[in-house]
Structure 1
C-alpha cells in the first residue's frame, strides 16, 4: 500500500468518527427539543390546570410567572443589545431602538404586568406555550455565547460543556419539585431547568456543524455537515419512540403524574455517551491555528487529508486569519441579511409547531394518547427518510434548488392543512398534508439551512453566525410560544376550526421561496475561501 493510500483510508475512517461524535450534539439537540412533545398534555395537567385548584396561591404563582418571563425578556434584550446597537449605529438610526423599547415596554406593562393575577384562558395558553418553549430562551443564550466559547475554549470543549448542561437539565426537568434549588415554585423550577438544557442546545446548534465543517474536506462538507441535521431528526425520532413506549398501555393519571418525568430523565443516556466520546476526538485545526498550535493542527490535517494536502490547507487557514476581525458589515449588508433571513424563516414556516405539538395536534383530530404517539413516530420517520435524501443530494443537486422546491411544497402543505381543518375534515387528508410538509422541510430548510450557515460567513465576520443562530432560536420561541394562543383560542376556533395558524405558516413558506429565489447564491462544491470571495466581489 502506498503512502497516499495509507493516509487516505485512515482519513476516511477518522472523519466518519469525528462526524459521528460531533453529530451526537445534534442528536441531543433533537432529543432535548422534541422530548417536550410527548409531555405537553401532562405538563398542562400537572402545572397549568393545577393552578385552578391551589386557591390563594394561584395569584402568587401567576406573579412568579410574570417575573420569570420578564427576566427572560430582559435577558434576551441584553444579549441582542450589542448587535442591535452596532447595527442601528451603522445606519445612523439608534433613536429607533430607544423608541421601540419605550413603546414596547409600555404595552408590556399595561397589557400584561399590570393586569390582575387571574387565570384567564389567554394566560393559561401563555403559560403552557412558554413552558413548552422555555428551553428556547436557553438556546438563544447558548447560541449568543457560542462564538465566544468557540474562540476561547474551542469547538470541542464547548460541546463538552453542552453535554454537561444536557445532563443537569434532564435531571432537573424530570424532578423540578425534588431538585428545586431556586427558591420559587415548581413551575419556575421546571422552566429554569429547561432553560439550562436550552443553553446546551444553543451551544450544540452552532458548535456541532462548525466542528464538522472545519474538519471535513471541501468536496464532502455539505453532506457531512448535513449529518448533523440527520442526527437532529434522529434524536427526535428516538425520543418519539421512547415517549411512545413510556405511555403505551398506561393510564392518563400515571402519565400525568409520573410518565412525563421518565421522558425527561431518558435524555441522560445519550448525554452521558456524548460527554464520554468527546474526550476521544481532537480539537479542530482552525482553532489550533488560532491558538498558535500549528504542529497539532498539521497533525490532524495530515491524518484527515494526507501530507500533500495538509500543508496547502494549513496555509489557507493561516491566510484566512491574517486579517483582524472586522465589523459585521465588512462584506456589506447582503451576507448579514441572508444569514438572518435563513434563520428566521427556518422557524417562521412553522416546523417546530409540528415537532413540539404533534401529539396534541393528533389528539385534536380525535385520536387517543397511544394513537397520537404512534402517529408522531410516523412524522419522525418521514423526517428521517427525507433528511437522508437531502444529505445524498445536497452536494450534487445544490443548496438553492432544494431550498426553493422545499418552500413551495411547504406552502402547499400548510395551506392545504389549514383548509382541511377549516372544513372540519380531520381524516387522512390532514395527515397527508402534515406528512408532505415534514418531507418538504426535511429535504430543504432542515439540513440545508445549517449547511449554508456553516459556509457563508467569512472568518473575518464569523461571529455573525452566532447572531444568526440566536435569531433563529428567537424566531423559534416566538412561533412555539404563540401557537397555543392561536390554536387554543376560542374565538379563532369558532371561526377557523384550528386552521388559522397553519395558513400563517403557509404564507411564511411562500415568502421564504421568494427569499431563496432572489437572494441566495449557490455554494455547492466551493471551498470556504471561494465562498468568501463571493462576498468580497459584491
Structure 2
C-alpha cells in the first residue's frame, strides 16, 4: 500500500455535489408548493378530504415510477443521463400544472412532476456519494438535503407573497418552478459521470480521468483498486440480485428506514400546515406564515445535521430524532385536541421539524446512498426509495381522511407510536457507517 499522502480536490468535489444537489432544490419545490396552494385548490376544484389526499399524494405515485425508471437508467446508461431527464421533466410539469384547466389535468401533471422528483430523489444522493471521499461523504450527501430544505423555504416564502394576488395565485406558485428547472438542466451538462458507474460499464480510462479530477495519484490508485475489487465476480443488475442472501440485511435496513422516514408523520406537517392551523382558528395569513417558519427552522437544523453527521455519526442522530419525535407528537396531539393557542402549537410543531431535520430527513438519505454494494447500488436504492414514496403516498392520502374522522389531533398519536417502533429498529439493526469508504462498508456487509 502506498504511503503517499492522499489529497482531495475539495473545491471541485463540493462544486459538483452542489450542482447535482440542485435536483434536491426542485424536489423541495414540488414537495412544498402544495402546502401554500391547497387553500386555493380546495376552492378551485371543490376538494373533499378524499380528493385532497389524492391530489397531494399523486406526486408520490409519480415518484414511484420515477424511482423505477431512474434505477434502470442509472445502472444501464449512467447517473448523468438520469439527472438530465429529471431536469426536463421538472420544467415540463411546472408549466403543465400552471395551465391546468381541470382537476384531472392537475393530477396528471402533478403525477408527471412526481416522476422527476422520484428520479432526483434517488440519483442526486447516489451521485454525490459516489464522487465523495469517505471522510466527508455524509456531509456532502447532506448537501442534497440542504438544497431540499432551501427549496422548501424559498417556495414557502414565494407562496406567502403570492397569496394576495387572487384566486389564480396557485398557478404562479407552480409555474415559477420552470426557473430552477432550467438552472439545474444547465448545471447537469457540466457534471462528469460517476467513476464507479464508468468502471462498472467497462470505461476504466474515463473512470481514472474523473478520479484524477477528484484527488491525487495515490487517491486514484487506491480508489480504482477498491472499486475494481468490489465489482469482480457476478455483475447482475436484476431485482432478483437485490434479494440475494449476502445483501439482504442491507436491503431490509434500507427499505425499513425509507418507509419509517415517511410514516414517522412529519410530512403531514409540511404538506398540511394550513389544515393543522386552521383547526385551531388561524386565518390564511397565519397559516402561510407558519409554512415560512417551518421552512426556516428546517434549514437551520439541516445545517446542524451537516455539521454533525460525520462527527457524531449516523446512528446517534437517528436514535435522538425518532425518540424525540415520539414524545413531541404526544404533546402536540394533546395541544390540538384541547384547542390551545396557535402560538403554543407552533412551538411544538417547530421542535418536531428541528428534530426531523437533524436526523431522519438527511441521515436516511445518507444511509441509503452508502449501505448498498456497488454492483446493486442503483437497483437497491430504487427499491428503497420506491418504498419511501409508497409510504409517503399512504401518509398524505390518509391524513385528511383520518383528520375528518378523528380530529386533526388523532393521527399524531398514531405517528408517536410509529416513531417509538422506529427507535427500537434503529437501535437493534442499524450499524454506524461514518468514516468508511463505500468499498469498506461492502466488505463489512459480506463478513456479517
Once residues 153 and 242 of structure 2 are traced to their aligned partners in structure 1, the CA distance between those partners, rounded to angstroms, is 40
Q: How does 1:127-146 map to 2 (within 5 A)?
A: 127-146=51-70
Per-residue deviation, 1:133: 1.2
Once residues 233 and 280 of structure 2 are traced to their aligned partners in structure 1, the CA distance between those partners, rounded to angstroms, is 57
- Residue 217 of structure 1 is matched in structure 2 by 133
SS of corresponding position for 1:282: coil
Moved more, 405-414 or 324-333: 324-333
Moved more, 394-403 or 307-316: 307-316
- Residues 206-243 of structure 1, C-alpha deviation per residue, up to 9 Å, x if partnerless? 10001100100111101100111111111101100110
Once residues 279 and 419 of structure 2 are traced to their aligned partners in structure 1, the CA distance between those partners, rounded to angstroms, is 24
Per-residue deviation, 1:522: 0.7
User: Are 1:19 and 2:53 an aligned pair?
Assistant: no
Structure 1 runs (4+) greater than 6 angstroms displaced: none
Per-residue deviation, 1:481: 0.4
- Residues 409-447 of structure 1, C-alpha deviation per residue, up to 9 Å, x if partnerless? 111111110011112213332111111110000010000
Once residues 200 and 376 of structure 2 are traced to their aligned partners in structure 1, the CA distance between those partners, rounded to angstroms, is 15
User: Are 1:40 and 2:38 an aligned pair?
Assistant: yes
5+ unaligned residues in a row in structure 1: which ranges?
50-123, 178-185
CA contact (8 A) 2:310 2:434 kept: yes
- Residue 353 of structure 1 is matched in structure 2 by 268
Once residues 127 and 243 of structure 2 are traced to their aligned partners in structure 1, the CA distance between those partners, rounded to angstroms, is 22
SS of corresponding position for 2:272: helix
- Residue 192 of structure 1 is matched in structure 2 by 108
User: Are 1:233 and 2:149 an aligned pair?
Assistant: yes
- Residue 64 of structure 1 is matched in structure 2 by none
Superposition TM-score, scaled by structure 2 size: 0.95
User: Are 1:407 and 2:331 an aligned pair?
Assistant: no
- Residue 267 of structure 1 is matched in structure 2 by 177
Flag the 1:451–1:194 CA change in 2: closer, same or farther, 3 A. same
Q: How does 1:290-439 map to 2 (within 5 A)?
A: 290-324=200-234, 325=236, 326-331=241-246, 333-439=248-354
Moved more, 147-156 or 478-487: 147-156
- Residues 349-396 of structure 1, C-alpha deviation per residue, up to 9 Å, x if partnerless? 112111111133222222222222112111111111111101100001
Larger Rg: 1
CA contact (8 A) 1:159 1:204 kept: yes
Per-residue deviation, 1:153: 2.1
Higher RCO, Cα 8 Å, sep 6+: 2
- Residues 476-528 of structure 1, C-alpha deviation per residue, up to 9 Å, x if partnerless? 00000000101133xx23xxxx2101111111111111111111001111111
Per-residue deviation, 1:331: 1.6
Per-residue deviation, 1:327: 4.7
Once residues 11 and 313 of structure 2 are traced to their aligned partners in structure 1, the CA distance between those partners, rounded to angstroms, is 26
SS of corresponding position for 2:46: helix
5+ unaligned residues in a row in structure 2: which ranges?
none
Once residues 95 and 350 of structure 2 are traced to their aligned partners in structure 1, the CA distance between those partners, rounded to angstroms, is 33
- Residues 285-339 of structure 1, C-alpha deviation per residue, up to 9 Å, x if partnerless? 1121122222221111111111221022112112211122335233254222211
Q: How does 1:495-506 map to 2 (within 5 A)?
A: 498-506=408-416
Number of aligned pairs?
439
- Residue 79 of structure 2 is matched in structure 1 by 155
2:90 to 166, 170, 173: 166
Superposition TM-score, scaled by structure 1 size: 0.79
Once residues 529 and 294 of structure 1 are traced to their aligned partners in structure 2, the CA distance between those partners, rounded to angstroms, is 17
CA contact (8 A) 2:35 2:274 kept: yes
User: Are 1:480 and 2:396 an aligned pair?
Assistant: yes
Per-residue deviation, 1:29: 0.6
Once residues 300 and 14 of structure 1 are traced to their aligned partners in structure 2, the CA distance between those partners, rounded to angstroms, is 11
CA contact (8 A) 2:97 2:110 kept: yes
Once residues 269 and 8 of structure 1 are traced to their aligned partners in structure 2, the CA distance between those partners, rounded to angstroms, is 37
